[in-house]
Amino acid sequence: MLFLTLTQILLKMKGAIILKPIVTERLTKLGESTKQKQYGFRVSTQANKPELKNLIEKMYSVDVESIRTCVVAGKKRFRYSKAGVIQGKSQNFKKVFVTLRAGQEINFYENV
């Protein structure tokens, strides 16, 4: 039987660009700061900045000031078995950091 993670299911859906928000202590603190509102998302590796800007503005009804992207290299994995050492690698993924204009805010917890 084949088990898929949520991320893999979303990647298989046609047109899925934004996979999920990144909620960490650092990004939560940046999102709550008064100077600049920054939020992070895990996105499809094929997505580009103009697509992401338009999509985030439509999804959350906010004005995006700037976007920074980075591709995170997948980690190497080793597993020891009777046949010896089996090597593998997790997938690369892209993160995007969005800075909103003054007075704008995204609330990830409003629909929970």
Domains, the chain, ordered by start: 15-63+72-100 (3.30.70.330)
The confidence band for 1, taking pLDDT boundaries of 50, 70 and 90, is very low
Query: What pLDDT does residue 30 have?
Result: 84
Residues of the chain with pLDDT > 90, as a percent, come to: 44
Question: Is a pLDDT exceeding 70 seen at residue 48?
Answer: yes
Whole-structure pTM value: 0.75
Task: Give the model confidence (pLDDT) of 57-98 as tens digits.
Answer: 988 889 999 999 999 999 999 999 999 999 999 999 999 999
Query: What pLDDT does residue 81 have?
Result: 92
Distance between CA atoms of residues 112 and 29, nearest Å: 20
Query: What pLDDT does residue 60 have?
Result: 87
